Amino acid sequence: MEKKEIIIFSTLAIAVSSLICFIAYQLDNPGISILSVFTPAIVALVMTAATTGKKGLTELFVKQTSKKMALKWLLLSLFGIPAIALLAMLTSLDFDASRFHLRTTQLLPQVVVIILIAIGEEYGWRGYILPRLMKKVNVLYASIILGLIWGFWHFPAYLIGAGVPLQMDFYVFLSWVVLGTLFMSWLYYYTKSVLTSILAHVSANAAFNYLVILPEFTGNTNTFWWLIGYMSVLMMIVYTVGRKDLVKG
């Protein structure tokens, strides 16, 4: 049952997102593609309502959000990726703090958009599909599979130059998405809360918006490669230390 749901969900999410991006391309209005960020949550809502009804919707949108958890997981969700991003940025600046600056200090509408993106995606990726993947395979494999699905879900927007970092080969972006998935799956495994994923998604996008990391702001991919390198090391440590839980089976 889980396998069928995973396939149907992934197909629908990618297909609807592709349709929205195609419409945006045909109308020569890339901004329309922002609507695709809601497709994972909408597909999850429809499929849950069709299979488990009100009980399933309550589990997906309420119980997975309001779970109690240790403070450390909230702190990791909020500051984990931004800390790594800051380290990557400082590394590229040779740790010369005098050269550090924010890309922007504007809060609105960026913060609102960042929050809506996270909510629109996470109830689908972490709320719906990740638990089903973890019933079939361990957290490591589930993360890699989900990371690839999530990454290629971005591809239609990438083709029309919207919704993903510019001036970057897609495989580089895909590598980051898989690493980000490993990070958020780690949080989800120990909390069973979509809230941690929403916060991590918000904090990651905020880091990309406010720190000078992406190649369209730096002029090259050096800083982003540092980010990928540091994140890779962290995830290798996390999944090695937690191998009995995260890599079991």
Which tens digits make up the pLDDT trace of 64-75? 998 889 999 999
Contact by Cβ (8 Å): 47, 28: no
The DSSP code for 167 is: S
Contact by Cβ (8 Å): 123, 40: yes
| Lowest model confidence (mean pLDDT) among 20-24, 29-33, 78-82, 125-129 | 29-33
Tell me the average pLDDT of the chain: 95
0.85 surpassed by pTM: yes
Contact by Cβ (8 Å): 39, 9: no
| Lowest model confidence (mean pLDDT) among 86-90, 175-179, 216-220 | 216-220
C-alpha torsion angle, residues 178, 191, 142, 47 (rounded to 10): -100
Q: Output the CA–CA distances (angstroms, integers) from residue 112 to 83, 106, 206, in the order listed.
A: 22, 12, 11
pLDDT of 163: 77
pLDDT of 162: 84
What's the CA gap between 186 and 20, in Å, rounded? 31
How much is the average pLDDT of 136-165? 93
Contact by Cβ (8 Å): 84, 227: yes
What's the CA gap between 113 and 202, in Å, rounded? 10
C-alpha torsion angle, residues 228, 200, 237, 188 (rounded to 10): -140
Contacts of residue 232, defined as CB under 8 A and 6 or more positions apart, other chains included, come to 179
How much is the average pLDDT of 204-230? 95
pLDDT of 248: 85
By percentage, how much of the chain surpasses pLDDT 90? 90
pLDDT of 249: 67
Own/partner long-range contacts of 150-156 (Cβ < 8 Å, ≥24 apart):
150/125, 150/177, 150/181, 151/177, 151/178, 152/14, 153/10, 153/13, 153/14, 153/17, 153/40, 156/14, 156/17, 156/18, 156/20, 156/21, 156/22, 156/33, 156/36
pLDDT of 1: 75
What tens digit of pLDDT does each residue of 9-30 get? 999 999 999 999 999 999 999 8
Question: Does the pLDDT of residue 144 top 80, yes or no?
Answer: yes
What's the CA gap between 125 and 44, in Å, rounded? 9
